[in-house]
Structure 1
Amino acid sequence: MRKNKVKLRGHYQAEIWNMRVLKIFCPECGEKAIIRKSNRKHREISDLYCACSDVECGHTYVLSLTFDHTISPSAKSNKMIGSMIQNLNPEQRQMALDLLKSSPV
């Protein structure tokens, strides 16, 4: 027997189909769920408002999505440090270099 599912309203474009997406499942029936809305509370915390795709279930709920830890640091962070060092005067640059040389590895 075919299950009744909520149809997605054309939110996907051709180039998005191969994109990796977060898969959400209903905690009540285990069917796929759809993120209807997100509320960003902080840079690292969001509330996801979800709805079960099974029409017979109809469960709606809120998930909390949080950042945990970094596996590989961003390549942009080195650029930020470089731009900060470029804005220092020569004496401050030398002091920063001396501090880096004296710190244990």
Structure 2
Amino acid sequence: MHITCPHCLHKAHITSSNDLNDEKTISDLYCICLNPDCAGRFVMQLAFQRWLAPPAISIVQLAANLLNTLSKAEREALLQGLPPG
């Protein structure tokens, strides 16, 4: 991951992090600027925002959950390519 110093806009190094929630979707990143003329230390926040494409395992799990809600006859009809009914 590339971090930029907000003061001088040079590269910065993450020295440590601190998760702010149990889901580990929000973290504080403790950073130091690699520009020797700046050497600023700062904290940036990293947060998960949204999925652009869900992980494949989620899609498979979703399909399995949906199939489990169908009756045996509906599942058989689905596998044969027929509308359930």
What residue number does 1:60 align with? 41
Aligned partner of 1:44 among 25, 33, 55: 25
Detail structure 1 runs of 4+ shifted over 4 Å in the superposition. Answer: none
Q: How many residues are paired up?
A: 70
Structure-2 separation of matches of 1:75 and 1:54: 41
2:11 match: 32
Specify every segment of 5 or more residues in structure 2 that has no aligned partner in the other structure, as ranges.
75-82
TM-score relative to the length of structure 2 = 0.67
Residue 54 of structure 1 aligns to a residue whose secondary structure is coil
Deviation at 1:68, TM superposition (A): 1.1
Unmatched tracts of structure 1, length 5 or more: 1-21
CA distance in 2, matches of 1:73, 1:85: 17
* In 2: Cα distance, 1:77 partner to 1:36 partner: 33
Distance in 2, matches of 1:50 and 1:39, equals 12
| Cα distance in 1 for residues equivalent to 2:36 and 2:50 | 36
What is the alpha-carbon root mean square deviation over aligned residues? 2.3
Q: Which residue number in structure 1 is paired with residue 51 of structure 2? A: 70
Give the percent of matched residue pairs that are identical in Structure 1 and Structure 2. Answer: 33
* Amino acid aligned to 2:59: N
- The CA distance in 2 between the partners of 1:62 and 1:80, in whole Å, is 37
Structure 1 residue 56 displacement after superposition: 2.2
